[in-house]
Structure 1
């Protein structure tokens, strides 16, 4: 079996032979992101990108030979590094981290699902991970605890945003928003609850309100952060890796 080809970040952007490149990876990625944001990831094909750049499709394959390469540069361009200095307040710093990640995913609806496919990640994304690790390290967490907390925040934000975006897409395609859907379901739900077989659903229905996406996100984040604080607030858990 032959050795696999080096990932794109280990390959020079300009070949030692041939003409100088007309376009940069960043330029191609920016166009691909614009298309994907507007029309979805599948629309960001080499053919469509080439058309927007007024270039030949075969020319672009010299820069990014595979779809994996294209996705790698798109992810890196979409995750431009934003600094964040640790304050020492774990809850406050995690709120900033989670909100920033959510906004990033909302700006680029294709990004969260793509990151879940174990893509080749580049320097910008890795700088962001280094920043997040440093932020939690600055709050006194050990490295293994930091990894657990970050994985939890990353996974929860990704899931919450994908649910939010799916709801938007469903409402757009069907013309039925959540409120209209609930009103349509209400007579059926009331008839079931009247049987007395669903006491907890009855309580939930009485208490439930249709929260906006921002409110849902903040409520879920508060619950998660409360659990994180409870777990790591004790002295034996709130130790930095240097103290081990």
Structure 2
């Protein structure tokens, strides 16, 4: 139930202070994003952000009430980087998907915030408004438009999480994907030689391991083709 309490985007910031360190929500969010880019979301806390800004954590509570609010602000800042899609529905959703992937590759932690309840900051609402403006003319029923947006979002979220997961695994183990595949190649060849997995054998023999951007684009095209066919 809505209790009428203002959100972090609606609350005014405290009056500016010249000493000991000037603060603003924008500065707090920028510092938090820098920490997350370096060490992931576990590296973000009000104490650590305060230290990065040479300010005590209690001063930050005048700007944000909790880490959850700070994460909302961080996610909305990235939505601002993604930008508002425009144009015909396929053009708009393709641009949105590619911009989202690019933002996630700059800020891997953002992939961890893509699920769950929506974070309805002003930038996110602007992206949603632009998305609906592009999709509703082609899918006039609101539930159909919601299905289209949810389907594209689900594909993008799953694809970028898989890509980020591979990057993280390579950093954690020091073994990149080609090296990992080479290390497991002998085992896989022996296993496939048993004849128990003919579909996997064909998949390995005939498949190509393309550039991640090309793989992402091909998957997105398949999703949009399916949605277009449903529309027809």
TM-score, scaled to structure 2: 0.88
Residue 5 of structure 1, CA deviation: 5.0
The runs of 5 or more residues in structure 1 that have no matched partner are: 235-244
Task: Report what 1:26 is aligned to.
Answer: 26
Deviations 1:202-236 (A, max 9, x none): 1111112222211211121121111111111x2xx
> For 2:7 and 2:86, how far apart are their aligned partners in 1?
31
Larger of the two Rg values belongs to structure? 1
Task: Report what 2:158 is aligned to.
Answer: 159
| 8 Å Cα contact 2:76/2:121 also seen in 1 | yes
> For 1:202 and 1:117, how far apart are their aligned partners in 2?
37
Residue 140 of structure 1, CA deviation: 4.9
Residue 43 of structure 1, CA deviation: 0.9
| 8 Å Cα contact 1:71/1:119 also seen in 2 | no
The runs of 5 or more residues in structure 2 that have no matched partner are: none
Task: Report what 2:64 is aligned to.
Answer: 64
Residue 141 of structure 1, CA deviation: 4.0
| 8 Å Cα contact 1:33/1:78 also seen in 2 | no
Residue 165 of structure 1, CA deviation: 0.7
Deviations 1:165-190 (A, max 9, x none): 11011111212111111112121111
Query: What SS does structure 2 have at the residue aligned with 1:80?
Result: helix
Residue 85 of structure 1, CA deviation: 2.8
> For 1:120 and 1:203, how far apart are their aligned partners in 2?
43
Aligned length: 225
Structure 1 position 7 matched with structure 2 position 7: yes
Task: Report what 1:85 is aligned to.
Answer: 86
> For 1:142 and 1:106, how far apart are their aligned partners in 2?
34
> For 1:55 and 1:95, how far apart are their aligned partners in 2?
42
TM-score, scaled to structure 1: 0.84
**Which residues in structure 2 correspond to 1:133-152 (within 5 Å)?**
133-152=132-151
| 8 Å Cα contact 2:13/2:25 also seen in 1 | yes
| 8 Å Cα contact 1:76/1:122 also seen in 2 | yes
Task: Report what 1:194 is aligned to.
Answer: 193
Q: Pick closer, same or farther for the CA change 1:120–1:92 going to 2, 3 Å.
A: closer
Query: What SS does structure 1 have at the residue aligned with 2:175?
Result: coil
Task: Report what 1:218 is aligned to.
Answer: 217
> For 1:220 and 1:214, how far apart are their aligned partners in 2?
10
> For 1:60 and 1:226, how far apart are their aligned partners in 2?
47
| 8 Å Cα contact 2:84/2:126 also seen in 1 | no
Q: Pick closer, same or farther for the CA change 1:205–1:65 going to 2, 3 Å.
A: same
Deviations 1:66-86 (A, max 9, x none): 112111211222211724332
Deviations 1:126-166 (A, max 9, x none): 11111111111244543221111111111111111111011
Structure 1 position 179 matched with structure 2 position 178: yes
| 8 Å Cα contact 1:31/1:52 also seen in 2 | yes
> For 1:83 and 1:127, how far apart are their aligned partners in 2?
6
